[in-house]
Structure 1
Amino acid sequence: MIQYVVECIAFQLVFLMVYDFFLKKETFFQWNRVYLIGSYALSLLLPVIKITALKTSLPEDFIVYPEYLWQQDLPEIVVTEKASNWFLNMPLENRILAIGMCIASLIFGYKLYQLRRLKKEGEIQFFSNYTQVLLEKSTSAFSFFKTIFMGDQIKKEYYESILAHELVHIKQKHTYDLMFFEVMRIINWFNPLVYIYQKRISELHEFIADSQVSKKNKKEQYQILLSQVFQTQNISFINTFFKSSIIKKRIVMLQKSKSKRKNQLKYLVLVPLVLGMLFYTSSAQGTANNSSSDKYQLEEDAKLIEELEKEIKKEIATYGTIEEVMQVMIKETNKLKENEIWSKRTYFKTILLYKLNAKNTKVVFGDDVEQKASKHYLPLPSTPLYERYVKREKAFRVLDRNLDISLRRDEYYLELVSPSSSYPKNFHEFKVKNLKKLSGNEIKLLNTKIDAVFKGGGFEHNLILKDGEKTVKVYRTKNIYRINEEVQEKPFVPFSQLDKVPVFPGCENKEDKRACFNTMMQKHINKNFKYPLKAQELGVQGRVSILLTISKTGEISNIRKRGPHELLEKEAVRIISKLPKMKPGVHKGNNVDVGYSIPISFKLVSGNEVNKKSSGIEIQENTVKLKMDNPPLILVDGIEITKEEMEKIDTDRIESINVLKDKMATEKYGKKGENGVIEITLKK
């Protein structure tokens, strides 16, 4: 959105500069009128028009990077929230835009009210081609569509000339031009150039009318008439005759000789100008680099690796261990801006560091299978592989930027394919109007589609994104590696291996402190949860895995996260950051740092719909109905209730429903949970 606005304003600025320097002083008034309206319309269209030959093409291969193993100590916690007020769901910049448009619309409405009041107070006279409104005690003269407003104090000898002038405005429908820019002023109220455009077209209208009237009247008398200063109406979309700010320009233009026909060639400057803009908008995403597909090292690669290996050895001697060198390297790469791509040198060094440290690096294949990293999984760096990495990063810029987080670079691979290409057997198709510029509703639907297609980390399905021109294939990478996360600075003992778990406030007197800890953790999350407004707007949902450390002093530190969307990750971190200080965990008689992980599942509900994880729950007439032979344990805000009491709850009061079954239920609630557990959270 921001990129589109910046490009529009830049193009408008160029068009206006061409007009002011080359065309403004010419007497080709009708041509200039077409230029001003056409160039503004072009500035709105050019950023979304692409030349196919200049678009980015993507490679098939991709580079993969290591990530850390995430534990799963707790059953998934499901948190839901109804979509709230549509205005609050909007991003801040959209809300500011909407407020500005509302204010601009009110100003426009007030101007229309002024005209209506003048028409109501004046004397109305009807003619065959126009309507005249005679204004009492006024020297104003202006037109609006087919209505001419004339002051009753205008001298009779000037009346015919002024009337002829205003009739030109009516005949050539000048009000439509001004109304077009008035609408643009409402939509683009923040853009100063739209006001300049409207001023230029208004001046041009007066030049056109003056040139027509001066052909039938004595030019000298007409100039005397223009030199008078009269009362004017401060309304931007009317053709006012007596506008003192441009009287001098009109007189100068009347005295100007007619431009030579050869000067019309100046308009040809528009051709290379538009072509240049098309080239810019089409190639801005990055052109394809048709490098060799050869994966082997080049001679220059071997030299760079040799140089970097010496540098790494020197750094190991300085810092002490390879792990310390990796930490320094990762901190440096994390400083890169989001849209920046690693340099070739950084890329090579990072791969070499991980190959050196392979024996201490764990990776995850798919979602579940843990293996030790080895040199086999980390190919030697090479120029062709680096070039593919760069292309892959640039590929994400082909799509709407709102998908940059949904289709994370470390979890999804994107490939531009021909619309006529054959697709894999298991694919899902999603069509939009323009992949580069998605509507809010399209983004919301697409995020829901991504969640459904790749649910559970599946890799057997593909997603095909299409518009009328481009086709993008999306599939999830099977071997997901990451290197741009913080290295765990200090070793910790996993929560499941502790002799004594950390004591959550309120669990001091509980016999089973481990179960109490898990219960209090879930209550804390439900209490502090707030679904991000922008995530609701985009329809983003899914599971966020959180890994945190409970230090030797009981403080919460080193919170790390993994999830389908940055918005959900930030909310999960915010919740965990609010955890209270605890009594530290103990292992082998000493206080230790404890590693604890917990998955939080974000689910959106709308209206009376709730999260139905069990087929034994139905929503009937705003109430929750159970369809189970053996009634489960039912808890509302932690308090046990009966089946009959639950069915009396109005679903409008329900914030979320979480269903636990089998081992998950019995581990948390003991024998009471053997038939399952239904946890209901009511709205505060």
Structure 2
Amino acid sequence: MEALFIYLIKSSGLIVLFYLAYFLMLRKETFFNSNRWFLLAGLITSVLLPFVFITKIIWIEPTTTPINWSNVTMPNYTPEKTFEDYLPMLTTLTYGIGILLLLGKFAFDFYSLNAVLKGKSIQQQADFKFIDTKENVAPFSYFNTIVYNSALYTASELENILEHEKVHSEQNHTIDVLISRLFCIVFWFNPFIWLYKKAILQNLEFIADSEATKKISDKKAYQITLLKITTHENCVAITNHFYQSLIKKRIVMLNKNQSKKWNSWKYALMLPVLVAFVFLFQIKTIAQEKTNENVSKNVLDVVTTINKNFSDEELKKKAEFFKKEFNCDLVFSEIERNSSNEITGITVNYNGNLYGNGTYKQHSTNTIKDIYIKYEGGKINISDAKIDAKIKNDKRTASSDKTLSIDKEIFINGEKVSQNDMDKLDPNEIERMDVNKKNNQQEIRIVTKKFHKTITENDIYIDGEKADKNELLQLDQNTIDKMDINKKEKTIHITTKNRTYIQEKNMPVPPVPPTPPVMKFNAPVAPAFPKAPKVPKGDPVNGDKKAWKEFEKKMEDYDAKMKKLEPQMEAFDKQMAEFDKQMEPFNKEMEAFDEKMKIFDKQMEEYQSNLDKENK
């Protein structure tokens, strides 16, 4: 379940990034169709990108002296259960209950939709299915089905409504609605997904309004129809319906000047953000141990044994190994064998710039004794069974010095220890082991499971600054002056003797985005529209005729008030044009910022490449 929660957190983070990008840069632009695909791409990217990983392999040196784990006794105890142990189960249960409740609501909405459509007379026209219902519901579309109550509207109003719903149907906006609902079910705990859904539905209305007004001659009449429909309170869920609570925003967008095409560069700003997400969270580091044939040159002694049963091919491989690893020419010659193909005589010549020159011979009436070719202290030594005891003694001396390499340090949970301490460590208690090279010095850092759990559950502060667990693991405990652990606040405060600790060096600094301009006046505000009169129940023929007559008088007054607003609407359009003009310098600064982000992206690639080279 931990992997699932990590995935949900990463996806939720991407959803937040896409929503903020839309809200801050795109929501006021008239690129409605582009915004639609941007918002959908954001959802798709949010669920797929957490599965994409860049694998980085770090090769570590093998341990030449095996660790004897049998000396360690395993303690037999049962840890007490704490609230933290039950927290994952409670979190899973809460998340599952939320999904079940929302799935139930989703199913109920489908049932309500089916109740509205069931048993109704359908008129097929071209690719559309029209249902003229007698119920007092707001007009809506569901895929290619359009539902409306013709008795509530005049002929011109009905024409405006149908043109609007046809756009929803032709462009399959129902799919966007269903996708947003499903994301709300899965990510219900993320408050931004509900804002994201609202942005999708609102943008779909902008698209339908924009396309519908292209086919309608009277744009003002269309806006009045929008206001009239606001009196309907009955809307069917999981559908595209003509009524929206944000009618004012729709009218503002209808009257707004078209955005300039070069403003579309704003979509590209998400690319460096996504690249940064991958480099920060999607790099999987895999440590692999080199094979014996790739033993590092820093190892104290590499001993290769040649015995009487070696074939010519095996001798050839040994010569290739020494040439590759130590640039030493090793030549086997004067090879003699008996009837059993066992070696009875051999001559070994070696020649290397760093290791000197030499010749070793062994010839016998019987088979040869084992030959040891040893790399030690930067020199090649060849010996036979007569000094085998000396080689074994050298190994015991190296072990007693607790040294595996020419210069190696071992740390367990940040504390410097000896080779003997590492040999006594239970392998089942190891959470992580890192091998680093610094200036010809090899460093082994081991973290136990118990210590890893402690640093994971607490916030870490080193010399007053918050640090991550990697910085704590890199800290030498010999430099620690004081450590305070607060179990209640779950914090670890560390004070070092020199008040310094290891930090990342040469990391590129990202550019600072420009500050939005201070306007000479506030953003233009659309005029306050009068409230449309409420439509009487029923229809004009069979309903309350007196109420309908009063409604017609109120609508005349309403139309007169709307006509008086036309000069204010013209003034609003001029203010919007001035507002866009003042935003032009800021838009240019954003273009320069985008170029700096491209440079920063290249610097990050070089920085990551250098890190990879250092870790090899």
Specify the TM-score bucket, using the shorter chain as the normaliser.
0.3 to 0.5
Which structure is higher in RCO with an 8 Å CA cutoff and minimum separation 6? 1
Higher Rg of the two aligned structures: 2
Normalization by structure 2: what TM-score?
Answer: 0.45
The alignment's TM-score, normalised by the length of structure 1, stands at 0.40
